[in-house]
A and B are shown apart, each in its own frame.
Chain A
Amino acid sequence: MKNDTIILGIETSCDETAVAIVKNGTTIVSNVVASQIESHKRFGGVVPEIASRHHVEQMTLVLEEAFAKAELTWDEIDAIAVTEGPGLVGALLIGVNTAKALAFAKQKPLVGVHHIAGHIYANRLETEFQFPLLALIVSGGHTELVLMKEHGSYEVIGETRDDAAGEAYDKVARMLSLPYPGGPQIDRLAAEGEANINFPRAWLEEGSYDFSFSGLKSSVINTIHNASQRGEELKSQDIAASFQSSVVDVLVSKTLRAAKEYKVKQVIVAGGVAANSGLRNALKDAFADTEVPLLIPPLKLCTDNAAMIAAAGTIAYEQGKRASWDLNANPSLILE
C-alpha cells in the first residue's frame, strides 16, 4: 500500500527551466533549476523570445536530471503539476506542453498551478502551514498580500496598482547603471548607504492593502535629475538605501497591519524579493514584538523553482483538481 503522494512539478514562467519531484507536498526529492540569467545579462533584462528558445532546448535535460537525482521511476509519480500562469506566454507554453505530453505519454493526472500559489507553497517545504495565514509575495512581477483560510484557498487582499516591487528595483538599478539583475545590487549598495533622502511612501487610501511604486520610481528619477542639474553628486549608496527604505517601509507596515486585522497564525514571505536582506531584516524586526511567526524560505526556494509548483500542485491534486488536455498557458491567470 502506497501512502505517499509524489508529484512532478514543472515551471517555465520566466527565465528558469525548472523540474522537481516532491513527496507529500512537504519533502523535496529532487529540485533542478537551469537558470538562463547569464544569457539574458547581455540584454539588460529577460528577452521573452530568447527565454522560450532556452526552455525548449533545456527541458528534457532538466527532466532527466530531476529523475536521476530522485532515483525513482514513473510508476511512483502520482501526477504532474505545471505553472499555467501568470508569466511570459511563450515561456509558459513550453512547460504546459511538456507537462501535457508527459501526462499523456505516461497516462498520469495533470494539474495546473498558479505561479504565486507556488511561491506561497515553497514555505510548506520548510514549515507546515497553520491557518489563517498571510502571505506577502514580492517578486519582479508581483507584489501581493494573500490571505489563506485553508489549503488551496487564496484571497488577494492587496496588490500593486502599477509596478511590482521587483520591477521598481530593476528600474532604479538601471538609473544607477547597475548590472542586471538590479535587485541584489541595490540591496548591496543600500547596506553601505544612509537613507537620508526622503522619498515618498504610497500608503494609498485609509485601510487599503494595495501597493503603488510608480510614484516612488518617478521621485527617484527626479531627485537624481535635479541634483545633476544643480551640479551636485548624490551618493548612489544613499539613493539605494533611501529607495529601499521607502519600499520596505510600506511592505512591512501593510503586512504587519493585515496580520493583526486578520489575526493570522503565520506570516509567509515569498518571491524573489524575499531574498532581499533589507526587507528580511525589517520584517524580522517588525514581527519580533508579535506572537506571529514569520516564515521566510531559504534563498533557493524564494526564487523561481519547480519544487514550489509541485508542492502547490500536491494540494490541488489531493483536492481533486484536474486539468484536461486543452490546458493552455495563461499569462494573466488570476489567483483564486
Chain B
Amino acid sequence: MNILAIDTSNQVLGIAIVKDNKPIGEMKTNIAKNHSVRLMPAIDQLMRDVSITPDELDQIVVAKGPGSYTGVRIGLATAKSMAWALEIPVIGVSSLEVLAYQGRFFNGYICPFFDARRGLVYSAVYEWKNGQPEVVYKEENLLMADLLENLAQEDKPVLFLSPDIDIYMDAINTQLGKQAVIPELAFHVADASHLVLAGTRKQAEPTHALTPNYLRLAEAEAKWLKQQKEQQNNE
C-alpha cells in the first residue's frame, strides 16, 4: 500500500510517501516560495528517490485547508487530478488537524492555528483520546482575542502550534500566562506523513466531491449575501 501525501495549504510545502504504514520519504520546506512551481518537481524527485512510480500509488491524501486559498487549490487540483487519472481514492484532511499531530503526546488541549490577518485566525482545539485527536472546539475563523478569552476559562493547559506563532506569542502569554505551552519552532510545522495517519481514520469521498476547506466565503460572495439580506429587511 503506497500513499502519497501533499500539503501546500500554507507556507510549508510538505510531501510524504508512506509504504505499508511506514513513512519512507518526506520532503518539507518552510520558505515563501511558489508552490505551483515547486510541487510537481518535488513529487517527481521524492518518488524517484524511493523508487515508486505513479501507477504504483494506491491512495493520495491532501491537506484541504484552511490556509492560503491559492495554496489549498494547488494541492487539491494536483491531488484530485492525479487520483482521478490513476483511479485511486483521494482523502482530504484538515490542515489544522494534521498540525495537531505535533502535539500527539501532550496532556491537555492542543490548539493549532493559522494567521488569517487583521487579528483573525483559523483555529480548532483538540484533545488526544483513544489514539486520535478529538475535537473540543470545532474549526473556526475567529478573532484570536476571542479564542484566547474562551481558552482562559478552561482548566487545562493549552499547547499552541502554529507556523505564525511569532505574531501571537505576546497575546497568548499575556492572556493565558502559565496555562499556555509554546514549544520550540521545530514543532510548529506539520509533517506530511501525519496526513496519512489522519487519513486512515477517514473515509475517502468521491474524488469530484472533495472541495477546499476555506472556512471563509470569498469576499465578493460575503458582500453580496449581506446586500441580499439588507434588501430583504428593507422590503
Contacts and interface: CB of A to CB of B under 8 A. Distances in A.
A327 B224 CA distance: 35
A105 B80 contact: no
A56 B79 CA distance: 11
B81 interface: yes
Interface string A305-334: 000000000000000000011111100000
B212 interface: yes
Interface stretch (B69-77, B157-165, B183-191): B69-77
Interface of B is mostly: helix
A97 B69 contact: no
B84 interface: yes
Interface stretch (A57-65, A149-157, A165-173, A199-207): A57-65
A110 to B, nearest CB: 9
A52 B73 contact: yes
Interface of A: 42-43, 47, 49-50, 52-53, 55-57, 59-61, 63-64, 74, 90, 93-94, 96-98, 100-102, 104-107, 324-329
Interface string B217-228: 011110010000
B217 to A, nearest CB: 10
Given A93-B74, A106-B85, A101 B224 contact: no
Nearest to B207: A60
B3 interface: no
Contacts of A326: 37-38, 40-41
Nearest to A110: B40
Given A97-B39, A326-B41, A47 B218 contact: yes
- The bracket for how many chain B residues form the interface is 35 or more
A328 B69 contact: no
B207 A329 contact: no
Contacts, number: 106
A105 B41 contact: no
A328 B36 contact: yes
Contacts of A325: 40-41, 43-44
A101 B54 CA distance: 10
A325 B81 CA distance: 15
Contacts of A97: 36, 39-40, 73-74, 77-78, 81
B36 A50 contact: no
A323 to B, nearest CB: 10
A106 B85 CA distance: 7
B32 to A, nearest CB: 15
A45 to B, nearest CB: 10
B9 to A, nearest CB: 13
B212 A90 contact: no
Interface string B53-89: 0110000000000000110011011111110111000
